[in-house]
Chains A and B, each alone.
Chain A
């Protein structure tokens, strides 16, 4: 069974999950994402500020978060000044570099993350990037633990859930744009838990020209991913698991699979301090934060991160 992305996807998604209706979502081939940020936030934002905003795919609304250290480079149109919001996707040429440096960081959260958790995840990534490149997060909505696990199982079963659909549209939109106007740019995607599964599904189902582009331009880093990202889909792929993470089994399944880079790190959180069920799964916990820092440092040394202040 299939359905199109509707106007009120939250309500539709809830009903689908609650009624165990397993169906794939479709979207028009030419669907694109736009990310609208209030200009007031950009004018008022401090260097380390992380802004929640709305994304749109047609009439479908999404929650996003953005951060950037060079919003001042934006040249607003008169229409944007009138409406008070700017679609930053229209302004990538002002915000991204076309040299071979990492100009864009995207990220996605896992299950059972509130909007506050999602914003926190972005903030934790952003504070490790003094260069302040453009960062965009796409929120993976929670419908409660049972429903989120149900969605996870549907995804593994091969169904295209709403969030996979939307993430694919985002990656499609960006890749199409970069192929045209930023062919040298490097892009890093960071994902936690179910976010890794979503990225893995999307990246394996792209058009051939997009796949070729991302193989040379995309760097991925996942933490406690339900499905790690295979090394072939990107320029550089890292999948990290804490040994005490409930999700470590998903990584161990691939530890002997040479198609994947899997790293299992010792937990920095003593066992008695870890939550009883999920263990050391938290992205904000000491283990993944240290690994994130090391990975970003490694990526920075190998590829360089765009610092608009120095260009």
Chain B
């Protein structure tokens, strides 16, 4: 049996490595589109430190639309994102229109901003920025649905809800162009990190590392409301172990107290805090409990715990038995198990002797 498994694995290894592309590009313009994108990517990396991550487009019998995606490893305000987006769109359009060999294949000549799509994501050490600044800017070209056609979209992230983008602003391309022409500052293309941003970035990096080392919490997203001072801090974590309500409570209190201590003891951050000392009511957190395959523990233990507005909510999964199907097909629903205020939870944890706590802390 072992020999047979080894043979299968060797066979698989050979097939996978010798595998040739099954479907090479077969249209004449493919190579030219590639040349254009590579030259723009090189230029953008050199000028603006934008990293080209991928491309998109609609190309069938002719080239209908060309798209490029970039990462920028810095923050951006709406003004900066607008200037950057327009700059890249213009460079891409110029490159397309000056490439002689692709001209016969373009569906429209000359190509304009209406036929290109550029998206730029702004990322930091903690992943995409989720602090009220622009996490993502993109344009919708001419083929998009009529209400979005030729518009620019500026999205932010909510650190607690990663299912949807939060659109913070949108505008027509021509309006964006007018605004950029009205304030043509070259330095808009690069973001200058503020003292607040430096301080909070370092604090959050240290906090997420500490949470992984001490509690095995893997950071999913972290940020908050920080455009006008530090108003709120939010974070979503995954714990790859099951938890009872009691251990989930202890974990939440431990993480919150650690974060509050880090914030309130940070002299560099103090001038930027909306309130000092920074209270627990300005912290939002969600901790999801999953196995190594990111599946819920549908065994009565916690599905997740959410801390928001000074209230902690405990969620668990309920299996709904059905007579007509086998148990593996039973539907599962996530429901609220219990709720309590943060101060109630803190009191309960404080009453647990240090020796019996799962997460030890001198300050709780």
List A residues at the B interface (Cβ < 8 Å). Answer: 20, 38, 40-41, 45-46, 49-53, 84, 101, 114-117, 120, 127-128, 130, 146, 149-150, 152-153, 156-157, 200, 204, 215, 227, 230-232, 235-236, 238, 240, 253-254, 256-266, 268-270, 272-273, 275, 282, 284-286, 289-290, 293-294, 297-298, 301-304
List B residues at the A interface (Cβ < 8 Å). Answer: 4-5, 8-9, 11-12, 15-16, 19, 21-27, 30-31, 33-34, 53-60, 69, 71, 119, 121, 123, 127-128, 136, 138, 140-141, 143-145, 148, 153, 155, 162-165, 212, 218, 220-221, 290, 292-296, 322, 324-325, 328-329, 331, 333
- A41, A46, A146: which contacts B5 (Cβ < 8 A)? A146
- Check A127/B163 contact, CB under 8 A, given A46-B333, A227-B22: yes
- Check A258/B30 contact, CB under 8 A, given A49-B331, A128-B164, A240-B54: yes
- Nearest residue (CB) in B for A239 is B54
A304 touches B331 (CB 8 A): no
Residues of A within 8 A of B328 (CB): 52, 115-116
Name 23 A/B residue pairs within 8 A (Cβ), A-sorted.
Answer: A38-B324, A115-B328, A120-B295, A150-B8, A150-B12, A156-B15, A204-B22, A230-B25, A231-B57, A231-B59, A232-B23, A257-B24, A261-B57, A262-B55, A263-B69, A265-B71, A286-B127, A290-B127, A301-B140, A302-B140, A302-B144, A303-B144, A303-B145
A40 touches B119 (CB 8 A): no
A117 touches B293 (CB 8 A): yes
- Check A259/B25 contact, CB under 8 A, given A128-B164, A153-B15, A285-B294: yes
- The CA-CA distance from A157 to B14 in the complex, in Å, is 11
Residues of B within 8 A of A260 (CB): 25
- The CA-CA distance from A108 to B212 in the complex, in Å, is 32
Which 8 A-B pairs have CB atoms at the shortest separation, nearest pair first?
A263-B54, A259-B25, A258-B30, A284-B294, A258-B34, A153-B15, A302-B144, A258-B25
| Chain A, interface SS category | mixed
B324 smallest CB distance to A (angstroms)? 6
- Check A238/B15 contact, CB under 8 A, given A260-B25, A284-B293: no
Residues of B within 8 A of A149 (CB): 8-9, 12
Residues of B within 8 A of A268 (CB): 127-128
- Check A38/B325 contact, CB under 8 A, given A130-B164, A259-B26, A303-B144: yes
A65 smallest CB distance to B (angstroms)? 10
Residues of B within 8 A of A254 (CB): 21
Residues of A within 8 A of B58 (CB): 235-236
- The CA-CA distance from A200 to B221 in the complex, in Å, is 33
B293 touches A273 (CB 8 A): no
- Nearest residue (CB) in B for A255 is B54
- Check A156/B55 contact, CB under 8 A, given A51-B331, A290-B127: no
- Check A264/B53 contact, CB under 8 A, given A40-B322, A49-B331, A117-B295: yes
B69 touches A230 (CB 8 A): no
A154 smallest CB distance to B (angstroms)? 9
- The CA-CA distance from A3 to B296 in the complex, in Å, is 39
- B9, B16, B25, B212: which contacts A273 (Cβ < 8 A)? B212
B12 touches A293 (CB 8 A): no
- Check A232/B60 contact, CB under 8 A, given A227-B22, A259-B25: yes
- Nearest residue (CB) in A for B320 is A44
